[in-house]
């Protein structure tokens, strides 16, 4: 049979043949060229030989390196965040830091210079109070967290006593993000999650960084 009578993809003695998409002349390629691109020796056009494994669309979850849970696949943590301090309350954070440094430095100066011992101790006492305020704030933030796994989203509140709320990804009905203008500038906000079983928010965490990224992570696992 002539070149014009050949059919695309016909095998001849461990060779593949195909008519060029551009010049209609016959191209031959090794048997393992199925599903690969081959350059036409006559006109230089690139042709895709039929066959081979079809390309599989990339799973949006696999793009970020974590596969969705299927069957008995173990649960894995994908993302864990806690409320931020500086971005959420920059004025308070800077005020506490400045007051702590100023009172500590003033107290040390007054005590070492013997100008006013009582005032020096008062400044150091104020510094101690500010350290306590900062410490309580830090401990509270450490006790609050939002964790996204490949199966569910979990809110944990409390470092010593504990409150936990969780929603399976398949049950998520709505993910809400609330941000003021300043919060948008600072990249923080509040994220709330509700399920089909409840009318209100079952999970609500304030002052988390990049809430849009958290929502996108949850959406990768939801049944949209």
- Specify if 6 maps to a domain: no
d(CA 138, CA 143): 9
- Whole-Å CA distances, 154 to 79, 122, 131, 163, 166: 11, 44, 31, 10, 4
**Residue 69, pLDDT score:** 54
22 belongs to a structural domain: yes
Q: Within a domain: residue 198?
A: yes
Q: Is residue 58 part of a domain?
A: no
Query: Which percentage of the chain shows pLDDT scores above 90?
Result: 47
The answer to the question of residue 101 being in a domain is yes
On whether both 96 and 33 belong to a single domain, the answer is no
Is 34 a domain residue? yes
Look at residue 162 and tell me whether its pLDDT is greater than 90: no
Q: Is 127 a member of any domain?
A: yes
- 63-111 pLDDT, tens digit per residue, is 544 555 555 678 899 999 999 999 999 999 999 999 999 999 999 998 8
Answer yes or no: is 59 within a domain.
Answer: no
Residue 4: which pLDDT band, with cuts at 50, 70 and 90? very low
Determine what percent of the chain is predicted with pLDDT higher than 70.
82
Q: Are residues 179 and 208 in the same domain?
A: yes
What is the predicted pLDDT for the residue at 9? 44
Distance CA 217, CA 224 (A): 13
Mean pLDDT value across the chain: 82
Q: What span, in angstroms and rounded, lies between the C-alpha atoms of 52 and 49? A: 9
Length of the chain: 224
pLDDT of amino acid 70: 54
Q: Which domain holds residue 135?
A: 90-141
pLDDT digits (tens, 9 = 90+) for 13-66: 457 888 888 788 888 888 787 878 888 888 877 878 777 554 454 454 445 445
Q: For the residues 198-213, what does the mean pLDDT come to?
A: 89
User: Which pLDDT belongs to residue 224?
Assistant: 60
Q: Could you give the CA distance from residue 155 to residue 32 in angstroms, rounded to a whole number?
A: 52
Give the number of domains in the chain: 3
What's residue 68's pLDDT? 52
Looking at residues 156-181, what average pLDDT do you find?
Answer: 89
- Token pair, residue 33, equals 């060229």
Say whether both 154 and 170 belong to one domain.
yes
């Amino acid at each position: 049979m002539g070149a014009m009578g050949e059919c695309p993809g016909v095998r001849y003695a461990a060779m593949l043949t195909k008519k060029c998409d551009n010049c209609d002349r016959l191209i031959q390629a090794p048997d393992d060229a199925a599903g690969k691109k081959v350059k036409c020796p006559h006109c230089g056009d690139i042709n895709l030989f039929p066959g081979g494994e079809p390309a599989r669309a990339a799973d949006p979850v696999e793009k970020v390196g974590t596969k969705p849970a299927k069957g008995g696949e173990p649960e894995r943590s994908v993302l864990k965040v806690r409320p931020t301090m500086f971005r959420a309350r920059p004025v308070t954070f800077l005020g506490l830091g400045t007051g702590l440094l100023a009172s500590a430095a003033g107290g040390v100066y007054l005590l070492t210079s013997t100008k006013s011992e009582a005032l020096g101790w008062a400044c150091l006492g104020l510094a101690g109070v500010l350290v306590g305020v900062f410490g309580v704030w830090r401990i509270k933030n450490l006790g609050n967290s939002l964790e996204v796994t490949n199966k569910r989203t979990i809110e944990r509140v409390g470092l010593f006593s504990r409150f936990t709320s969780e929603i399976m990804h398949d049950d998520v009905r709505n993910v809400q993000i609330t941000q003021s203008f300043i919060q948008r500038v600072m990249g923080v906000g509040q994220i709330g999650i509700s399920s089909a079983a409840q009318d209100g928010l079952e999970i609500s965490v304030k002052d988390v960084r990049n809430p849009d990224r958290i929502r996108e992570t949850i959406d990768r696992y939801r049944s949209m």
